Amino acid sequence: MTSTEPSSSVANDLSSEVSAIYLNKNESGEGSQASPESASALAPAPANNEEEKVDSASLSLMRKLTRTHLIQSKNEVEITRNDPKSPLHSVKSFEELRIPEELLKGIYEMGFQAPSKIQEHVLPVLLSNPPSNLIAQSQSGTGKTAAFLLASLCRVDERENYPQVLILSPTLELALQTGQVAKQMAKHKTSLTFRFVIRGVDLARNEKITEHVILGTPGKVMDAALRYRNFDTKKVKVFVLDEADVMIDTQGHRAQSLKIQRALSPNCQIMFFSATYDDNVMEFAEMIVSNPLVLRLKREEESLENIDQFFIECNNDFDKYRALANLFGTLTIGQVFIFCQTKKSAAWLANQLTKDGHSVGLITGDLTVEERTQIINRFREGVERVLIATNLMARGIDIEQVTVVINYDLPVDITTKDIDFETYLHRIGRTGRFGKAGLAFNMVDSPRALDMVKKLEQHYGRKIEKLDASDIEKLEELNKE
């Protein structure tokens, strides 16, 4: 599969793998204890809860399942090292790394041509000898997973039939997803074998794992390593902690990961990856990774340049809906994102627009990750032109072709009850890579909302122009831009 193929096929593969594992469990009839880490991501949020709760693991999974390509960064990688003697260089091509031919073939078939920004630095560090420990941080989508998979697969000696690489992910679904990528990468290295150690996979006491690479979640791997002794931790050459920031959000994962790490050989190479870099994550990193090189790629800042922003005054809900209908009627707009503050208003709007003949997707925290992924992919493929989402969902969505964003409700911070600047930027801002021009419309239905628009103008130093939604001429002008 290439990286440009629709990722829905990954979602399908993933779901068949999940069902296969559930099936496996049912057939065996052995009631393995479900680890707490695995329960969250597929379960829908409680239906009658007004404020949505979406956990970071399912947002991360959504991003992965809907992403089609690499996020390029213009920022430079910052490097901190404890040992100034440790080797440091970067590469501009995969050939320079002298990795096995079969793996090279695998990554080329995945559509990779050259290392991403973070990979340029991470790969030589991870492949150098003696192996160095690494803490790497860069935003999601910049190529971390591909980097640690490539580097760790290179370390396997396939003549030895025991686990040599141990990869921990925060949830079953994320472990499966990483496994899919690993298998794709190793497509031409058929002697490499993989084993999932996750909920639904039962291992008997003392049953020996013979596969080279274990992909698992902390609770299940801890049981397999320390309780049932399914593999020898001292023989593991590479230990990867992926999505460490999501990991520490889940109770118990920090302690379980530490226990696993303590059982490894002191020579085991440790690779620690995170999308964020706050104190909590770094504290955890320091507990788990000794003498590391720290590589950091700052996230691309979103900006409001290239975005024409408007506000439309509406007297009541009826007016608000009519203004929206006018926009739809006049603008020959491509893909549109509409944001609502609550699930209730999002559902109402979706229903209303559908009744009026528009094909609309609705995405809220009530849906399972798979359902959300399906909706995002349909939208991306153009099956639906309009996607309505609530605030929290916006965090898990990264859709580049959207050029029109409508804030049906302005984003409000739950605690201050005032405008939420960061969410506004996240909803309509673009990073340099998506340099395309965009249009943003804000529905203003109260003096309070108008005040928030003024605050946005001040805060970002950019004009938000008043628009009369019945001014056909003006709307047609926007069409041309």
Q: Does 292 sit behind a cis peptide bond, omega within 30 degrees of 0 on the bond before it?
A: no
- Decide whether 75 or 345 has the Cβ nearer to ligand ADP: 75
Closest listed residue to residue 1, CA positions, set 15, 13, 19, 16: 13
Sorted by sequence, the CB contacts under 8 Å of residue 127 that are 6+ apart come out as 97, 99, 151, 154
Residue type for position 53: K
**Which spans in 205-332 are helix H?**
218-222, 244-247, 253-262, 279-288, 317-330
CB 415 to ligand ADP: min, Å: 30
- The residue within the footprint of ligand ADP, chosen from 106, 115, 131, 438 (CB under 6 A), is 115
Q: Contact between 395 and ligand ADP (CB under 6 A)?
A: no
Q: Contact between 56 and ligand ADP (CB under 6 A)?
A: no
Positions 72 through 111 that interact with ligand ADP (CB under 6 A): 110-111
Q: Contact between 170 and ligand ADP (CB under 6 A)?
A: no
CB 239 to ligand ADP: min, Å: 17
Positions 14 through 33 that interact with ligand ADP (CB under 6 A): none
- The residue within the footprint of ligand ADP, chosen from 56, 58, 66, 116 (CB under 6 A), is 116
Helix or strand run (H / E) with residue 138? strand 134-138
- Decide whether 112 or 239 has the Cβ nearer to ligand ADP: 112
Please tell me the distance from the alpha carbon of residue 459 to that of residue 423, in angstroms, as a whole number: 13
Helix or strand run (H / E) with residue 388? strand 386-390
Q: Contact between 140 and ligand ADP (CB under 6 A)?
A: yes
Q: Contact between 124 and ligand ADP (CB under 6 A)?
A: no
- The residue within the footprint of ligand ADP, chosen from 40, 145, 171, 423 (CB under 6 A), is 145
- The residue within the footprint of ligand ADP, chosen from 144, 237, 296, 343 (CB under 6 A), is 144
Q: Contact between 433 and ligand ADP (CB under 6 A)?
A: no
Q: Cβ(269)–Cβ(293) under 8 Å?
A: no
Q: Cβ(24)–Cβ(154) under 8 Å?
A: no
* Widest pairwise Cα distance in the chain: 76
Tell the burial category of 414 from Cβ atoms under 10 Å away from its Cβ (0-12, 13-18, 19+). Answer: exposed
Looking at residue 296, the DSSP 8-state letter turns out to be: E
- The residue within the footprint of ligand ADP, chosen from 65, 112, 185, 297 (CB under 6 A), is 112
CB 90 to ligand ADP: min, Å: 13
Which spans of this chain sit near ligand ADP (rule: CB under 6 A)? Answer: 3, 67, 69-70, 110-112, 115-116, 119, 140-146
